[in-house]
Structure 1
Amino acid sequence: MSLAPRRAGWDTIQYGDDDFRWAAQQLGLPDNAFLGEDGADARRGVLAHLGDLDVAACPGSGKTTLLVAKLALMLRDWQGRGQGICVISHTNVARHEIETRLAPAAGGHRLLAYPHFVGTIHGFVNQFLAGPALRSQGIVPRFIDDAFANRVRTAKLPFKTRSGMATAGVELGKLQVLDADGDLGDVKWGRGNLRKDGEAYQALRSAFVDSMAEGYLRYDEIFLWAESLLARSPSLLGDIRRRFPIVFIDEVQDTTEPQARILHRLFTAGEGSAVRQRFGDMNQAIFGHADASDAVASTDAFPRDGCAWPIANSHRFCSAIAALADPVAPKPAGLVGMRQASPTPGHAIFLFERAAAAQVLPTFARRILAHVPAGMLKDGRFKAIGHVHKPRVDGSDHLVVGDYCPGYDHERSGLDPRPTRFVQALATARSKHGDVRQTVDQIAGAVLHLARLADPNAKVSRRERRHLEVLDALGDDDTARRIYLGLVELVARGRLPADEQEWAEKWVPRWTRVAAAIAGCEPGDVGAFLDWTPLGSQQDKTPASNTFSYAHAAGKLEIDVGSIHAAKGETHTATLVLETFYRGNNLARLKPWLLGARHGDEQTSATIRDSLKQHYVAMTRPSHLLCMAMDAADFSDQDVDAMIARQWAVARVSSTGEVWL
């Protein structure tokens, strides 16, 4: 059977400048947004091309906007019956951004319904491959989550095995099954490998196999089941390519090796491939781990020779920020900043004494007030971000984000925060101002987690939205449904418990009642999930512990604090990059790049390459002001001279304030 997809007529269309102006108008952009002043902007070529394409887009290039514009054009002219466009993202946040931006465009809502697909790679594989594969084996997918699957598996292990793992330094979370039959490969145990026919290995294997049979899987384990289904039914490849003759993959740099293998097999390998267009920037591949063998995909590397399409001009920042950030990219793109530069840019480095770390944010606030236009202070976005934002657990004094912002709570920061306490989840959901759907789904996620803590076997339907899963699970229990909807409305309106007493007496009993209706039993030992933790003011935009407020003559300046990972994709008015410690101080490690002695380097160590990518992402967030905070002990007077020569303003920060050099 041929794998060649039947075309829906779209591949014969020739788009021109009038179409590109129409797309810009649909998105509320200037008519020449995709053409440029001279009509030769690289974005024009992306919209015009209907074959395979790898768009290597720099930070601030409007990559997602460009993808949405192309989708709007194709949906306008799509005629395929039973055939659709497939759009794959790597996070729910990215998927939500595509949906939100496309919604106002004429016909944009069509992408959200059959025969099209827009969602995460896990959602696609689960819907079309892993889900059917599991059900064919009599397995009902109950909960796909790394932490929860590990918890279930640990509980299945005999005490002797758990004790042996602790002695041998084996972490269950780092073990990986290699196939759907539960092969764990070689398991390091002390100085050697665990015998595969031994008691401990078999206990581990049984824990993995049994938990998968019960429907509890890690995220990437669904790819194993997808592979097993394709091995049994190779004709599915042709079915998928006929259903989706064109696929768009966003944020492709975040693709892991297992994901790349399945995507390549589904849409590209062999004859009769679907048209594939990928969008990303390998310089921003920060979601893998430097030590992970599959952190960056080697299968079908991006961008591919012959279809690479670079976009190196950014509308986000000016030429000064571009010049400071470009050397830090492992593979510099030759960044071009298109925003008009300020006559007094003010980009600065703060060299702080370790005892004065808490003075860094006030110094940043004063720099903002001095160099950001007064009209932007009220609605501007100001953020301080660092690589390592989880608190220290080893008793060291290594720098983390919390050293700059006392009270910082890492569990309220992230792309999709997963607080360890219910009340934190509510506070995080409340902070999603202007996005009721996201708020409600985050609340629903916390309720479902509580129900599963009560009973890991609680049966919950798999729906596109977690809120719908809760409503389905509550069934005809009108009392629980009324309680749930009432509490959701309270939080969506900004209401949270004022103190521990109100939480314990009024909120916990109601949430427990809802969770019991879902689980079919009262929540018993749920650890600290229902414990109280202090919250910020109910009027705050975000939980107060992750916002630094600085009072000034005209009002109050608020600076959000978080991780570099959580800031990826964001645009800030001003960004402060914080020194943190990972196998050494990160910014000190990057001294040659920051001082202009080195320009990129893909051949350096994995640790340095990871730091380069992290801080390239961080340094390309701001539109107006870039500042960096570094440990003064790591930089000499000669280094300071080099900083000034690169047009940085430099201040030494102590407990009494800053002194500009």
Structure 2
Amino acid sequence: MIPFITDDDIDEVQVKTGLIFDNERRQAIKSYSDIQACPGSGKTTLIAAKLILLARNWRDESKGICVLSHTNVAKNEIIQRLEKSESGRKLLSYPHFIGTIQEFVNRFLAKPFCRSKGIAIKQIDDDACVKYIEKRLSWKTKRYLEGKPKANISDLQIRYVDGDFEKIIPGFTKHSSSDSYKCLLSIKESMIDDGIFFFREMFEYAQAYLKVNSDVILAIRSRFPLALVDEMQDTSLIQDEILNKIFLYEGSLFQRFGDADQAIFLGDDENSNSYNTSKLKVINTSHRFNSSVALLATRLSTNRISLVSTQADATCQPHTIFIVDESSRRKVLKEFAILCSSLPIDNELAFKAVGGVGKAKKDGLTLQHYFPTFDKGNSNKHFKPKKLIGYFRLAKEFKSCTSSGYKIILEGISRLLSLAGYNYLSVSDLREIIRDSKEKFSVNEKIIVILISDLNDEASWYKNSLELLRLIGLKEWETEVTDYISFSPSSPELSNEIEINNSFVEVVNDRDVVIEIDTIHSVKGETHSATLLLETKYYQYDIHQVLDNIVGLKSELPKGARKKKFMKQIYVAMTRPKYLIGITVDNSRITSTQKEAAVMNGWRIVDLTEADT
């Protein structure tokens, strides 16, 4: 029997944790209605609280709770919350399952089907598949595909259609006797023989398993009488279909969490799933941003959700629309940095500039037009020094102890702890552990001592790094840790880490103001101090297409799937900051009427085309 959660149970959690659950959140915990939770609503905290309350009274040793998410990040956030609770830790092992939708499908559907058919699976990875294909393409086939702009080698996959498997050959709509067709077909057959598959192909095998073995649905339902899904808004149509086949039935307990307004990972032809088109219970109060941000972002809600802030308003810089042209476009980061310099100093929150398109495109408008050295592959999330000293050298590039520098050091310490055998800790979790530790001041003081020391002095590094290890509780370690903390000379590649890591730095009144540049998709789920939205072009100019909504001239939704997608991306960007929103638009794409409306509805206009600044 599924444990019943009462208000008294929730009250007990509030007393123990200091959290407050209002009526909407209580209903989400007690019921199994689908929930749309706005940005900053504390959705992960709510899900974790519900799971802990269920786990406290869970008695069945053969039936469990299935908790699914769209990404590893969301999965790990839930796991980390559960690990802090004695009851929550019960859900981290059999009979329960916590994982991504991909992991669930692989384990319970795709792999069992492939084993039954004698199909070996050695690797499931899109990048590995693309490299495999590229290595085997003939010169003639490469030339053929170059002449087919819409043909993509990542589409060389199997599909389950009408009870049979078909091979999709990019660049061809039907069977062909051409050499290029034969080359691609041969590569696909070799991939299957070698057990190398795209992630999507596992869902095709899963569909086949569900069709040929109806008992598997009953078996999964019996094992998991209760299922929760996080980030439901980003599930593809095939993921949605599989989840519904298994968990959506009369009498089922199947609850989905997400935010349909933030569904930005679906393609233009996959702009809806059963969750995004459902009538959802709404949590519209946010703990992230102030009321002025809530008011502006509300205009971009495709589901017409009125955001409400729980934060006390603080005196901040005005939300600003920067007008640029080709010659002044690169000035906007400096001007935004000057605005940010007056915001409260919060080492836990970054200043970021984001856009929809990161890759350079011919005749396009991308992040590189604002910051020429931007390279998605070299972002802070991708670049990792080989040794701990490299993290400190990287952080030292920032002239003062900023949130960006401190975050880099915590990333290095997190990696150190993983090498020492500890469970993975995110930067936010590590920051929280340090904050609650009795060694808090000693650890942070030692970090500052190392930062201001000569990192080319080997003796100094060993002395300070060993002291840091002692403060964080490491007394013994293996060779792998010894190598990681060992000294290494400064590398020439570190002389320009600020650019390598896609960060713009402006010194304002002796304060380093660091603006991190990234794509909108990469910052989803983050909280910033201030966010600058840079106009980019994906077939059309994104901000221009919804500018009437941004400035308050229109309230109705734009027509067309692409414009709605732009609106959701801009909504995601505008709901990241705690204090300040900035927007950049070309002077050829904003009218005098739009400028007047913007000023009347809470925006300040700064025209960077009028004079050098």
Question: For 1:618, what is the secondary structure of its paired residue?
Answer: helix
2:369 corresponds, among 403, 409, 420, to: 403
State the match for 1:20 in structure 2: 10
| Counterpart contact for 1:56–1:303, Cα < 8 Å | no
Written as runs of structure 1 = structure 2, the 5 A alignment for 1:111-510 is 111-156=91-136, 160-169=140-149, 170-179=151-160, 182-184=165-167, 189=172, 193-195=173-175, 201=181, 203-269=183-249, 274-290=252-268, 293=269, 295-298=270-273, 300-302=274-276, 304-305=278-279, 308-370=280-342, 372-373=343-344, 376-392=345-361, 394=362, 396=363, 398-413=364-379, 417=382, 432-433=411-412, 435-436=414-415, 498-499=490-491
CA–CA distance in structure 1, aligned partners of residues 165 and 139 of structure 2: 21
| Counterpart contact for 1:413–1:566, Cα < 8 Å | no
2:503 corresponds, among 536, 547, 569, to: 547
- 1:185 shift after superposition: 5.7
CA–CA distance in structure 2, aligned partners of residues 97 and 161 of structure 1: 44
| Counterpart contact for 1:75–1:108, Cα < 8 Å | yes
| Counterpart contact for 1:351–1:632, Cα < 8 Å | yes
Question: For 2:582, what is the secondary structure of its paired residue?
Answer: strand
User: Are residues 224 and 347 of structure 1, via their aligned partners in 2, closer, same or farther at CA, if it must alter by over 3 Å?
Assistant: same
* Alignment-mate amino acid for residue 95 of structure 1: K
Question: For 1:183, what is the secondary structure of its paired residue?
Answer: strand
CA–CA distance in structure 1, aligned partners of residues 253 and 208 of structure 2: 25
TM-score calculated relative to the size of structure 2: 0.79
* Alignment-mate amino acid for residue 6 of structure 2: Y
State the match for 2:2 in structure 1: 10
State the match for 1:86 in structure 2: 66
For residues 239-294 of structure 1, the C-alpha deviation after alignment (integer angstroms, 9 at most, x for no partner) is 1111111111000010001111111112125x5x641110011110001222xx3x
CA–CA distance in structure 2, aligned partners of residues 196 and 262 of structure 1: 33
For residues 379-438 of structure 1, the C-alpha deviation after alignment (integer angstroms, 9 at most, x for no partner) is 43211111111233x2x3x33223333432211349x7599x999xx9899883553389
State the match for 2:439 in structure 1: none
Query: What is the RMSD of the two structures over their aligned residues, measured on CA atoms?
Result: 3.2
Question: For 2:322, what is the secondary structure of its paired residue?
Answer: strand
| Counterpart contact for 1:76–1:107, Cα < 8 Å | yes
Count of residues in Structure 1 that have an aligned counterpart in Structure 2: 537
State the match for 1:634 in structure 2: 589
State the match for 1:607 in structure 2: 562
For residues 476-507 of structure 1, the C-alpha deviation after alignment (integer angstroms, 9 at most, x for no partner) is xxxxxxxxx8567655x59787436xxxxxxx
CA–CA distance in structure 2, aligned partners of residues 487 and 87 of structure 1: 34
For residues 585-618 of structure 1, the C-alpha deviation after alignment (integer angstroms, 9 at most, x for no partner) is 22122221112122241x6112211110100000
* Alignment-mate amino acid for residue 382 of structure 1: F
User: Are residues 379 and 584 of structure 1, via their aligned partners in 2, closer, same or farther at CA, if it must alter by over 3 Å?
Assistant: same
| Counterpart contact for 1:255–1:296, Cα < 8 Å | no
State the match for 1:465 in structure 2: none
State the match for 2:441 in structure 1: none
Question: For 1:128, what is the secondary structure of its paired residue?
Answer: helix
CA–CA distance in structure 2, aligned partners of residues 418 and 214 of structure 1: 31
- 1:74 shift after superposition: 0.9
| Counterpart contact for 1:322–1:337, Cα < 8 Å | yes
| Counterpart contact for 1:130–1:229, Cα < 8 Å | yes
* Alignment-mate amino acid for residue 262 of structure 2: Q
| Counterpart contact for 2:153–2:170, Cα < 8 Å | no
* Alignment-mate amino acid for residue 12 of structure 2: W
- 1:439 shift after superposition: 7.1
TM-score calculated relative to the size of structure 1: 0.74
2:514 corresponds, among 558, 571, 592, to: 558
For residues 612-652 of structure 1, the C-alpha deviation after alignment (integer angstroms, 9 at most, x for no partner) is 01000000111111111222232233332221111211112
| Counterpart contact for 1:386–1:400, Cα < 8 Å | yes
| Counterpart contact for 1:54–1:302, Cα < 8 Å | no
State the match for 2:428 in structure 1: none
| Counterpart contact for 1:257–1:296, Cα < 8 Å | no
- 1:326 shift after superposition: 1.3
* Alignment-mate amino acid for residue 122 of structure 1: Q
* Alignment-mate amino acid for residue 355 of structure 2: G
User: Are residues 231 and 206 of structure 1, via their aligned partners in 2, closer, same or farther at CA, if it must alter by over 3 Å?
Assistant: farther
CA–CA distance in structure 1, aligned partners of residues 198 and 168 of structure 2: 17
- 1:654 shift after superposition: 4.8
User: Are residues 65 and 79 of structure 1, via their aligned partners in 2, closer, same or farther at CA, if it must alter by over 3 Å?
Assistant: same
For residues 547-579 of structure 1, the C-alpha deviation after alignment (integer angstroms, 9 at most, x for no partner) is 222223353222222111111011111111111
- 1:310 shift after superposition: 1.0
Question: For 2:34, what is the secondary structure of its paired residue?
Answer: strand
User: Are residues 495 and 178 of structure 1, via their aligned partners in 2, closer, same or farther at CA, if it must alter by over 3 Å?
Assistant: farther
* Alignment-mate amino acid for residue 334 of structure 1: S
User: Are residues 208 and 182 of structure 1, via their aligned partners in 2, closer, same or farther at CA, if it must alter by over 3 Å?
Assistant: farther
CA–CA distance in structure 2, aligned partners of residues 597 and 145 of structure 1: 46
* Alignment-mate amino acid for residue 432 of structure 1: E
1:34 corresponds, among 21, 34, 48, to: 21
* Alignment-mate amino acid for residue 77 of structure 1: N
CA–CA distance in structure 2, aligned partners of residues 174 and 301 of structure 1: 26
CA–CA distance in structure 1, aligned partners of residues 346 and 337 of structure 2: 11
CA–CA distance in structure 2, aligned partners of residues 310 and 363 of structure 1: 37
| Counterpart contact for 1:536–1:544, Cα < 8 Å | no
1:584 corresponds, among 508, 519, 540, to: 540
- 1:154 shift after superposition: 4.4
User: Are residues 101 and 434 of structure 1, via their aligned partners in 2, closer, same or farther at CA, if it must alter by over 3 Å?
Assistant: farther
For residues 109-147 of structure 1, the C-alpha deviation after alignment (integer angstroms, 9 at most, x for no partner) is 222211111111111111112122222333332221112
State the match for 2:603 in structure 1: 648
CA–CA distance in structure 2, aligned partners of residues 490 and 346 of structure 1: 49
CA–CA distance in structure 2, aligned partners of residues 247 and 636 of structure 1: 50
Gaps of at least 5 residues in structure 1 are 1-8, 36-40, 442-484, 501-533
Gaps of at least 5 residues in structure 2 are 395-407, 421-477
Residue identity (%): 30
User: Are residues 135 and 213 of structure 1, via their aligned partners in 2, closer, same or farther at CA, if it must alter by over 3 Å?
Assistant: farther
* Alignment-mate amino acid for residue 351 of structure 2: F
